[in-house]
Amino acid sequence: MSDIHLQAVAERIRAGHNFLITSHRNPDGDALGSGLGLQRLLRQMGKSASVQVRDGFHPALANIPGASDVAVTDTLPADYPAAYDAVFTMECPEVERTGYPVLPGPVVNIDHHLGNTMYGEINYLDLDAPSVGEMVLQLNRRELHLALDRETATALYVSLATDTGFFRYHNTTQRAFEAALELVRAGVVPGDVSLWINESNSRGATKLLGLCLATLQITPSGKVATLELPSRFFAEAGATPEETEGIVNYGRAIEGVMVSALLKEVDDRSTRVSMRAKPGVDVQAVASMFGGGGHKAASGCTMPFALAEAKAKLISILEGIV
């Protein structure tokens, strides 16, 4: 993390008046929590800031303060970019991950992913950050110096807690705990957040999990687990596409398994893949083969094959690296 880049972000905020904030497609807790936390800080400074994303998000994330006002749309605002001083892209290693074909105007790229293409006018990249929300907290701590209220702290805590697997993954560093302490001191109640993130699944989401678990297969080596999600499962379970969060982790939790992959049918020509790995395996390198990305331990991509063919090709690749 560079002090120069932190200062550049802060200077752009102070000089501007109206900002747009977005994140990657199918936003998770880090993407949404970091964006909403930043929005609240900007508004605290008297700035105008709106958050919009390309796709909907898991119902549990609707509990984040401000989430009800997030615009879910496939078009940029009619007055963009003329009326905006910058657009902040949260947790997007490539600008294409936003789901918007073009982002004209000044872009402030805030991310912690390996392989970020540095596409912004300002690039605030920190590969050691446990979450992008923690990076927003660093921005405030070191440059903006604003008092954190409970709502802002809660948004940033969701970012931190979900991206560290509620402090279970290897990105749970001293920085993560220091950030958690600061956010709890600002009023966050960790038990409340855990309750509505981890224990508030709909019946449809639970049925969808059951259908996916029935497809579980483990390769002969015992090191690769796959789960399948044909598109028909959504109707059978009464679930929505946003309710797939966390399913891939069930394969990773099996003893001896080094990589778990969830293959989600998009159509008869493409399959969305989410991968989770244990230490020592780099699934980001695999995702990059198909234009995807993420972290070494958590990455995703879209393979240009039907589900069965994608599964066979993916297993062949993964067996070669575990």
Instruction: State the Cα–Cα distance between residues 80 and 274, nearest whole angstrom.
Output: 32
Mean pLDDT across 165-187: 96
Listed in sequence order, the residues at least 6 apart from 116 whose beta carbon sits closer than 8 Å to its beta carbon are 93, 94, 109, 123, 125
> Do 168 and 253 share a structural domain?
no
> Do 249 and 132 share a structural domain?
no
> Do 238 and 110 share a structural domain?
no
> Do 161 and 286 share a structural domain?
no
Q: Which domain holds residue 233?
A: 203-319
- Of 148, 212, 136, residue with least CA distance to 182: 148
Q: Are strands 298-303 and 270-277 parallel, antiparallel or unpaired?
A: antiparallel
> Do 53 and 7 share a structural domain?
yes
Which of these three, 148, 181, 197, is where a domain ends?
197
pTM: 0.88
Number of structural domains (the chain) is 2
Instruction: State the Cα–Cα distance between residues 109 and 302, nearest whole angstrom.
Output: 23
What pLDDT digit, counting tens, does each position of 67-117 carry?
A: 999 999 999 999 999 999 999 999 999 999 999 988 888 999 999 998 899
240-253: b (≥16 Cβ within 10 Å) or e: eebbbbbbbbbbbe
Q: How far apart are the first and last CA of the chain?
A: 31
> Do 246 and 167 share a structural domain?
no
Q: Which of residues 47 and 115 earns the better pLDDT score?
A: 47
Instruction: State the Cα–Cα distance between residues 127 and 296, nearest whole angstrom.
Output: 11
Which of these three, 144, 178, 197, is where a domain ends?
197
Residue 254 in this model has a pLDDT that exceeds 90: yes
Instruction: State the Cα–Cα distance between residues 100 and 153, nearest whole angstrom.
Output: 29
> Do 188 and 139 share a structural domain?
yes
> Do 168 and 267 share a structural domain?
no
Mean pLDDT, all residues of the chain: 95
> Do 259 and 143 share a structural domain?
no
**Cα–Cα separations (whole angstroms), residue 28 to 33, 66, 91, 225:** 8, 15, 10, 23
Write out the E strands in the chain: 18-23, 48-53, 71-72, 86-90, 107-111, 122-125, 217-218, 224-229, 259-267, 270-277, 293-294, 298-303
What pLDDT digit, counting tens, does each position of 277-290 carry?
A: 999 999 999 999 99
> Do 234 and 190 share a structural domain?
no
CATH code assigned at 293: 3.10.310.30
Which of these three, 165, 197, 229, is where a domain ends?
197
Instruction: State the Cα–Cα distance between residues 261 and 252, nearest whole angstrom.
Output: 8
CATH code assigned at 164: 3.90.1640.10
Tokens representing residue 233 in the block: 């499962």
> Do 278 and 167 share a structural domain?
no
> Do 234 and 296 share a structural domain?
yes
| Least confident stretch, 85-89, 200-204, 309-313 | 200-204
